[in-house]
Amino acid sequence: MHCGSLVRHAFTRAASLSSVRTLRSAPSRRLSVVNPRAMSSFGATASEGVTYGFSSSFDSGNGELVSATPDTLTVRMRPEPYTEADGRAHFQWFHFRVTGANGAKLRVVIQNAGDASYPDGWRDYKAFVSADRKTWRRIQTTTYVDGELRVDMDPVPGDCVHLAYFVPYGYEKHLDLIAHASNSSPASVSHVVLGNTLDGRPLDCLRFGEPGSWIPERAFAGESPEDEAAIAAIGEKLQPWVRDGGAKRVVWILGRQHPGESMASWWMEGFVRRLLDAEDPVARKVLRRAAVYVVPNMNPDGSVRGHLRTNAAGANLNREWENPTAQLSPEVLWTRNAMDACGPVDLMLDVHGDEAEPYCFIIGGEGCPGWDERRAGVQRRFKEAYARACPDFQTVFPLEYGTAPAGNVVTAKTQVTYRYGCVGMTLEMPFKDNAQLAQPDGWTPARCEKLGAAAVDALLDVLPVLRE
């Protein structure tokens, strides 16, 4: 059966399975459901003289009111459902708004920052603020003191300001990207739904390029004997797949398994839009040689719920790849089934954000069963090409990363590397900044998009060596 038909068959089966899912019941140690009214009204928690409002009741909102005085707003981040694989209830993502305080001096205190999943991430961190939800800037007067994150605004820059851990990328914006890509030329772009999430949202996948085989572009316009001789001489030095064509490479790009890492969605903007550019010669050559499957948001439920690490059931999707289930981690199950249906994967890149490290870097398949020098060489080549294409990416730091625990196949990169004998990688971007090219607003959506676009160059560079 043709790869496209196989994938659609897998998707149809996934959808039928998704209808019988049930949410995992919450253990008693999980937090009870927060009263939604407490998230948008002060009530008895506000002191006399407070004239501003607070809310986190919106897409990706996370923040619970603790107390409010005229000059200090204290909130707590809302923990996610308990994650068995990690042994804790995660939280670190925040996104809420303050209304009616334009021009005032206000300190916002995130009370439980010291108990967050990655407290080292608060060191030198600066929160984001926006008065129009379009233009975001860092609040330089953000400090981490005695386990609290303190955000001082003097003055508050608008009558309705949003504060967030990183610039949010909402579900409506995700739907806009899917619709734009699905209705753009080239016609080789197609959209499929891998299955449904626990909250009933579609798990969207975009395929760029047709599966099958490819034929190289014409080397010369002329047809003289001299041209033919030149073509033959050049061809003798080329790898057979480069010279003669053959089976297209199969590439998968995943984003936002961890929903609070919204920089992955901004990266996808750059990557997807470059692949859609019919005037871009690099993108055209990639799509002539490969079928590229893109899942821009692996965890739409967690994204909407304002989670950092988990889906609606509290599953850390990037620890579910060895044994995913429709009850706990359907997003991984549907994606892995689709990978199986497409035939062997040649390369997979899983896009993430790192709370503490001030670099853009890749963690590869080192340490997983069957890892060999050939794939290590392909991975090095990809990283070196990526660094040439975008200096925000580098190949040296952090020094402590680089090797997965021996036998680990529970993450996307290790399971895919082991399962298909290919190169699986995790790309990490900073929540704070790239220390090597630091700027006042730190790491931003625009830089994410540029890094995403540059990945197309690195992909073209390694396509010839993905198979022996």
User: Which residues are CB-neighbours of 88 under 8 A, at least 6 positions away?
Assistant: 82, 117
C-alpha to C-alpha distance for 178 and 234, rounded to whole angstroms: 41
C-alpha to C-alpha distance for 299 and 301, rounded to whole angstroms: 6
* Active-site choice (210, 320, 331, 428): 428
C-alpha to C-alpha distance for 442 and 406, rounded to whole angstroms: 35
CA 181 to chain centroid, in Å, comes to: 18
Q: Residue 386 to residues 350, 398, 433: CA-CA distances in angstroms?
A: 15, 17, 18
Minimal CA–CA distance to 455: which of 393, 413, 412? 393
C-alpha to C-alpha distance for 63 and 195, rounded to whole angstroms: 30
428 is annotated as an active-site residue: yes
Length of the chain, please?
468
Contact predicate 104/157, CB 8 Å: no
CA 26, 32, 37, 42 dihedral sign is negative
* Rounded (5°) CA angle 326-354-65: 80
* Rounded (5°) CA angle 162-166-172: 70
Angle of the 445-462 helix axis to the 281-289 helix axis, nearest 10: 50
Structure token pair of residue 413 = 């990169």
Residues labelled catalytic: 428
